[in-house]
Amino acid sequence: MEVDLDTVYPAPGLTKDAFMRSLIRELAGILEDTVGVQEASAYVNHVGLLIGRALNGEYRTAYGTERLNNDQVAAALVHLKKRIGGGFSIEQADDQMITLVNSSCPFGDIVIGRPSLCRMTANVFGHISAENRGYARVGIKEAIARGDARCRVVVSFLKRHEEPQSIETDFFGSFV
């Protein structure tokens, strides 16, 4: 029997987006299962740093400035997540911190149970924030990946003397 697979509903197989999400989830899962969540997170950290560096340059170019101000940093963080399917919005923003909440992870439901993928957000947000403000401590207070109903990310620009908690990471800008 011959079947035109392009006319079958629902279509078998994956869309490009679903394929890429599944690929990332499975890679993260293999890393987490093989080397542990902490070490898997380190790999994702590195990718996030590289992506953060590229995005920071793009947002600086778009704004026509060498350094983004607070409002521009906040807008860039929301915008970049929106462009990839995230539902981030600003809960609070001032000179000392930006608090963002998210109702929709760019990775979709496949992020559940893969907390190492949260390192992508932490590193992209941290890199952009620190490169423009000199320093940032990023804390992922709530995460869909950890089973929370939403994500809540706090980006603080105040240097602290105490060590970051396990859900926080310090980032230092290259001009400091």
CA distance 123 to 51: 9
In a domain, 9, yes or no: no
In a domain, 27, yes or no: yes
Q: Any bridge partners for residue 100, and if so which?
A: 90, 153
In a domain, 8, yes or no: no
Q: Total domain count for the chain?
A: 1
pLDDT at 49: 92
Instruction: Work out the average pLDDT over 22-43.
Output: 91
Tokens of 70: 């607070």
Q: 154 — phi, psi (to 5°)?
A: -110, 125
Under the banding of pLDDT at 50, 70 and 90, the label for residue 83 is very high
Under the banding of pLDDT at 50, 70 and 90, the label for residue 127 is very high
In a domain, 11, yes or no: no
What domain range is 56 assigned to?
Answer: 16-172
Q: 139 — phi, psi (to 5°)?
A: -120, 125
Give the pTM. 0.87
CATH code, domain carrying 120: 3.30.1380.20
Which whole-number Å values give the CA distances from 75 to 13, 89, 120, 140, 161, in the listed order? 36, 9, 18, 18, 28
pLDDT at 17: 87
Under the banding of pLDDT at 50, 70 and 90, the label for residue 160 is confident
The torsion angle over the Cα atoms of residues 151, 157, 160 and 164, rounded to 10 degrees, is 30
Q: Is 59 left (phi over 0), alpha (psi -120 to 50) or beta?
A: alpha
CA distance 28 to 111: 9
In a domain, 140, yes or no: yes
pLDDT at 74: 97
Integer-rounded Cα radius of gyration of the chain: 18
pLDDT at 167: 85
In a domain, 88, yes or no: yes
In a domain, 2, yes or no: no
Instruction: Work out the average pLDDT over 13-18.
Output: 82
In a domain, 23, yes or no: yes
